[in-house]
Amino acid sequence: MTQENQNPEQENPAAEGSAQAAPEVGAVKTPEEEIAELNQKLGELQDHFLRAKAEGENIRRRAVEDIAKAHKFAIESFAEHLVPVTDSLYAALSTDASDAKAFKEGLEITLKQLLSAFEKGRMTEINPAVGDKFDPHHHQAIASVPSEQEANTVVSVLQRGYTVADRVLRPALVTVSAPK
């Protein structure tokens, strides 16, 4: 028999050193230590979850507030363009209009201001010309009258319509030619 077989406790000195190092690296924990460590990790994860949930609620709440403010103040820039028109109308009402021609010129200037404000607010006028084809998306036919024009064409405009950013705010009220 060799020396290795005679002493079973000392089979391999290199293996013995690594066996002693293994328990130090992966030290066996008691169940209580493992429970305490897992409870700590659970507490940290619960804390992270609650913080993320609170942050999500805050983001949602801020978004709702921002949307409410956007709805509330959406007309603000348009209103800023209308204020000078109001000033002009008040000025016209405060003067003594002895001259109808001067009063009419003042009204025309005020109308130009108003149309400029509409343009700045992306509001356009729907004013079809006589003879234009009836467009149900932009016009509302009030009556159909016999006419020499082709059927379903605009004969007269009773009231102008308006669009805001390509959405019809109010269709133009028109009379159309009746089919022959």
The larger pLDDT score, comparing residue 138 to residue 8, is at: 138
Q: At what angle do helices 100-120 and 76-94 cross, to 10 degrees?
A: 180
Q: What's the start-to-end Cα distance of the chain, in Å? A: 127
The runs of H, that is alpha helices, within the chain are: 3-6, 13-25, 31-73, 76-94, 100-120
The larger pLDDT score, comparing residue 6 to residue 138, is at: 138
Q: Are 130 and 156 in contact (CB under 8 A)?
A: yes
Domains, the chain, in order of start with CATH, read 123-179 (2.30.22.10)
CB atoms within 10 A of CB 124: 16
Give the pLDDT band of residue 25 (cuts 50, 70, 90).
low
